[in-house]
């Protein structure tokens, strides 16, 4: 039981490049979330999903897209990277809206 896994752990992008952050959970959780954590700040919700095929925007969705084709996977897509997207990205999952379990994070730098 690996919990929530995220890849890659680190990435440097140039402005305008695109990439996908991968997130997988093996706990059969229906809810999944993407957060960003900026230095010295708390977590801000980017997108969330309540089940396969259902996604919705969080507090800071601009510049990102998500999909949820399976229960296990919830990738986050950055289409045109901007310096403002430099952050640490965390994926989390939960059974309904109970305790969230977090992945180890992806540290992204956009130059």
Under the criterion CB under 8 A, does residue 90 sit at the interface with another protein? yes
Pick from 19, 27, 45, 52: which binds another protein (CB under 8 A)?
45
Name the residue nearer to another protein (CB basis): 9 or 14.
9
Give a three-class secondary structure readout of the chain: CCCEEEECCEEEECCCCCEEEEEEECCCCCEEEEEEECCCCCEEEEEEEEECCEEEECCCCCCEEECCCCCCECCEEECCCCHHHCEEEEEEEECCCCCEEECCCEEEEEC
Q: According to the binding rule CB under 8 A, does residue 105 interact with another protein?
A: yes
Query: Which residue from 13, 92, 108, 110 is in contact with another protein, where contact means CB under 8 A?
Result: 92
Interacting residue ranges for another protein, rule: CB under 8 A: 4, 33, 41-43, 45, 48, 50, 56-59, 90, 92, 97, 99-105
């Amino acid at each position: 039981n690996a919990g929530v896994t995220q890849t890659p752990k680190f990435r440097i992008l140039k402005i305008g490049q695109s990439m996908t952050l991968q997130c997988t959970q093996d706990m059969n959780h229906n809810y999944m979330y993407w957060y960003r954590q900026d230095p010295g700040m708390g977590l801000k919700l980017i997108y969330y999903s309540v089940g396969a095929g259902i996604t919705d925007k969080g507090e800071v969705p601009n510049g990102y897209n998500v999909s949820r084709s399976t229960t296990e996977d919830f990738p986050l897509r950055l289409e045109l990277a901007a310096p403002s997207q430099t952050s640490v990205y965390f994926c989390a999952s939960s059974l309904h809206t109970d305790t969230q379990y977090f992945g180890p994070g992806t540290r992204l730098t956009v130059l």
